[in-house]
Structure 1
Amino acid sequence: MWDIQTPADLSRLSGGDPIVEWAAQGFGVGVRAWTAGAAVAVASPDVSKHDRLAVIGPVADAAPLVRDVLREVGPSYRPFGDEDLVRALAERVPGLEFSATFGWMDTAEIPEVTTSAAWLDGDTGVEALLTEASPSSYAWPGHPGVRRWAAATGDRGELLSIAADAWSAPEVGFLAGVATHPVARGKGLSRQVSGFVTAELVKRYGRAALMVDRGNAAAIAVYRRLGYTYRRVAAAGITESAGQ
Structure 2
Amino acid sequence: MRVLHTPDEVAAANPDPLVRWAAQALLPGRGGAAWAHGGAVAVHAPGLNRHDRLVLAGPADDVAALLDAHHRPGRAALVTAETAAALPRFPAKATFGWMERAGTLTPPGGVRWLHEDEWDDVEALLRKASPHSYVWPRERGPRRWAGIHDGATLVAVAADAWSAPGIGFLGGVATHPDHRGLGLSTRICAFVAGTLLAEHGECALMVDAANAPAIRVYHRLGFTYRAVTALKDPA
Q: CA deviation at 1:115?
A: 3.0
1:46 aligned partner: 47
Q: CA deviation at 1:113?
A: 5.2
1:26–1:170 contact (8 Å) kept in structure 2: no
2:64 aligned partner: 63
Q: CA deviation at 1:97?
A: 3.4
**Structure 1: segments with no counterpart, 5+ residues:** none
2:42–2:54 contact (8 Å) kept in structure 1: yes
1:115–1:193 contact (8 Å) kept in structure 2: no
2:171–2:205 contact (8 Å) kept in structure 1: yes
Aligned with residue 127 of structure 1, among 119, 123, 127: 123
Aligned with residue 192 of structure 2, among 197, 204, 209: 197
1:47 is matched by which residue type in structure 2?
A: L
1:77 aligned partner: 75
1:201–1:207 contact (8 Å) kept in structure 2: yes
Give 3-state SS (helix, strand or coil) of 2:92's partner: strand
Q: Does 1:237 align with 2:232?
A: yes
Q: CA deviation at 1:114?
A: 3.2
Q: 1:136 to 1:9 in 2, by over 3 A?
A: same
Taking only aligned residues, the RMSD between alpha carbons, in angstroms, comes to 1.4
> How many residues are paired up?
231
Give 3-state SS (helix, strand or coil) of 2:210's partner: coil
2:11 is matched by which residue type in structure 1?
A: S
Give 3-state SS (helix, strand or coil) of 2:172's partner: strand
2:25–2:31 contact (8 Å) kept in structure 1: no
Give 3-state SS (helix, strand or coil) of 1:137's partner: coil
Matches within 5 A, 1:3-22: 3-14=3-14, 16-22=15-21
Q: Does 1:151 align with 2:147?
A: yes
Q: State the TM-score, normalizing by the size of structure 2.
A: 0.94
* CA displacement 1:99-149 (0-9 Å, x = unmatched): 111111111132245331110011130111000000010000111111110
* CA displacement 1:155-210 (0-9 Å, x = unmatched): 12x11000000011011110000000001101001110000000111111111100
Q: Distance in 2 between matches of 1:194 and 1:37?
A: 37
Q: CA deviation at 1:57?
A: 1.3
Q: 1:171 to 1:113 in 2, by over 3 A?
A: closer
Q: 1:81 to 1:37 in 2, by over 3 A?
A: same
Give 3-state SS (helix, strand or coil) of 1:204's partner: helix
Which contiguous aligned blocks of 4+ residues in structure 1 show a shift greater than 6 angstroms? none
Q: Distance in 2 between matches of 1:115 and 1:99?
A: 41
2:6–2:23 contact (8 Å) kept in structure 1: no
1:27 aligned partner: 26
1:162 aligned partner: 157
* CA displacement 1:47-87 (0-9 Å, x = unmatched): 111111111111111112111012xxx32111112102124
2:94 aligned partner: 100
2:22 is matched by which residue type in structure 1?
A: A
The share of aligned pairs that are identical, in percent, is 45
Give 3-state SS (helix, strand or coil) of 1:197's partner: helix
